[in-house]
Amino acid sequence: MMPIDTIILCGLLGTAVWTDQRSHRIPNPLVLVTLFAGLACQLFLHGIDGLVFAMLGMASGLLIFLFPYLRGGMAAGDVKLIAACGTFLGPFAVLLAGGIATIVGALIGSGLIAYQRVRGGSLTAQQMLTTRFPFAAAIAIGVAGVLIIRGAL
d(CA 147, CA 63): 21
Q: Residue range 126-134: average pLDDT?
A: 71
Q: Does an H or E element contain 71, and which?
A: none
pLDDT of residue 101: 97
d(CA 51, CA 56): 9
For residue 115, pLDDT beyond 70: yes
Q: What percent of the chain has pLDDT over 70?
A: 93
pLDDT of residue 28: 97
pLDDT of residue 127: 67
pLDDT of residue 2: 85
pLDDT of residue 113: 79
For residue 131, pLDDT beyond 90: no
Structural domain boundaries of the chain?
4-150
The band of 129, judged by pLDDT with boundaries at 50, 70 and 90, is low
Q: Residue range 26-44: average pLDDT?
A: 97
For residue 20, pLDDT beyond 80: yes
d(CA 52, CA 50): 5
| Of the ranges 2-6, 106-110, 140-144, the best mean pLDDT one | 140-144
Q: Residue range 132-151: average pLDDT?
A: 94
pLDDT of residue 95: 97
Q: What percent of the chain has pLDDT over 90?
A: 75
d(CA 8, CA 22): 21
